[in-house]
Amino acid sequence: MLTTIAANAYDVALENFDTAADAMQLSDDVREMIKYPERILTVSVPVRMDNGHIHRFEAYRVQHSSVRGPAKGGIRYHPQVTLDEVKALATWMTWKCAVVNIPFGGAKGGVTCNPKVMSQDELQRMTRRYTSAILPLIGPERDIPAPDVYTNPQTMAWIMDTYSMTKGYAIPGVVTGKPISLGGSLGRNEATGRGVFYTIQCACDHLKIPLKGATVAVQGFGNAGSIAAQLLHEAGAKVVAVSDSTGCVYNKNGLDIPELIHMKELVGHVEGFPESEPISPAELLALKVDILVPAALENTVREDNARSLDVKIVAEAANGPLTPAADRILEAKGTFVIPDILCNAGGVTVSYFEWVQDEQHLFWEAQDVYNRLERVMKTSFRDVLKIHLDKRVPMRIAANILGIGRVAEAVQIRGIYP
């Protein structure tokens, strides 16, 4: 429903890089070293479907950077997955890991498929075959996948098992976002939404907007969007609208988010939620609310619809939801944007904690994970805000300056290209 993929996400990633690199006066040599993906793998994934026939899926793994450590990034199952999308997502992962200062580079994977029409057995066969195909690239010291859109802890368990079978022993550290019983971290499942929440708290403090009573609309009610909505609801904010791929629901007095999460778990969609009225995706984006949380896919706010937004804060739980043209329009309107590579970095931060716990075979309590995550997110927000205020650049450019700057420094100190 709604949101056609208008702009090419990789073009957006490159344009954002160039804007920040210009603002930093980054040399052409350094740009050449860090801008483009290091490795790109395209694979065919033949799968026997439940009807007995073989279907071939196209799939990718892109490692954008390993300058600061192993490459790290999620795996997406979606019909609109393309190589350019995966390259964009891998590029953003590099800057994101650097913004929150964790020792990883960026990667991403994707399979062009429609998991909604596939059985669990088909998904398992596809995941295992895809894992075999990207096996030469992944490993706890080289490239560590995690969940993204329409993949989950079960997907990670299948990847971990397939990888471990080739080695002959269990290697939990090859993926993060695993089930707890396989070496997953407490707090990983809710980490992205929780990180989004912490950055919204920081933005509200900065803008002097009381979070209690603030109105919120959330586009995309999956892992990132629903947890962010839940925490905002618990903090006293009024989440008035929520959407998923099937529809949008609205209640001007605020939706009962715990009940909505419960219903989504039971029936798989938000449409038809009691005490709500249906609205269109365009109406959701045009609501006058304090905070908009895009938590679905790329390019949902573009040149053609950005003017309809009437919000004080956009918190990018999704990767790449705003095109550069939308950025310029919102900048002129004075909207405060918490950019994706900061806003949704809670997921990869707790993935890092999970990897550390797996390596050490020593597991932390949930509160310990939350405290560390809060520290990382709030420190990173302050670092980005400082650049935003000192250099008078938009928050997205400030975050890119921080992330790109750290990667540029690392590549030069390593002397990779003497």
Which residues contribute to the site for ligand NAD (CB under 6 A)? 1-3, 147-150, 192, 219-225, 243-245, 281, 295-297, 317-319, 344, 347
Annotated catalytic residue 96: no
Query: How far apart are alpha carbons 338 and 197 in whole angstroms?
Result: 11
Could you tell me which residues come within 8 angstroms of residue 193 by beta carbon, excluding any fewer than 6 positions away?
A: 223, 224, 225, 226, 227, 228, 229, 230, 231, 317, 346
Query: How far apart are alpha carbons 167 and 370 in whole angstroms?
Result: 33
Given 108, 178, 264, 312, which residue is catalytic? 108
End-to-end, the C-alpha distance of the chain in Å comes to 50
Q: Are 62 and 90 in contact (CB under 8 A)?
A: yes
Per-residue b or e along 251-261, where b marks 16 or more CB atoms closer than 10 Å to that residue's CB? beebbbbeebb
Name which of 117, 122, 61, 120 is nearest 93 in CA terms.
61
Report, in Å, the least distance between residue 227 CB and ligand NAD.
8
Residue 115 carries which DSSP code? G
Quick one: tokens of 4?
A: 């056609």
Residue 185 carries which DSSP code? P
Q: Write phi, then psi, for 203 (nearest 5 degrees).
A: -65, -40
Residue nearest to ligand NAD (CB): 222
Judging by DSSP bridges, how do beta strands 54-63 and 277-279 pair with one another?
A: unpaired
Report, in Å, the least distance between residue 195 CB and ligand NAD.
8
Report, in Å, the least distance between residue 81 CB and ligand NAD.
11
Report, in Å, the least distance between residue 274 CB and ligand NAD.
19
Q: Which is nearer to ligand NAD, 285 or 404 (CB)?
A: 285
Q: Which is nearer to ligand NAD, 34 or 97 (CB)?
A: 97
Report, in Å, the least distance between residue 344 CB and ligand NAD.
4
**Catalytically active residues, by annotation:** 108
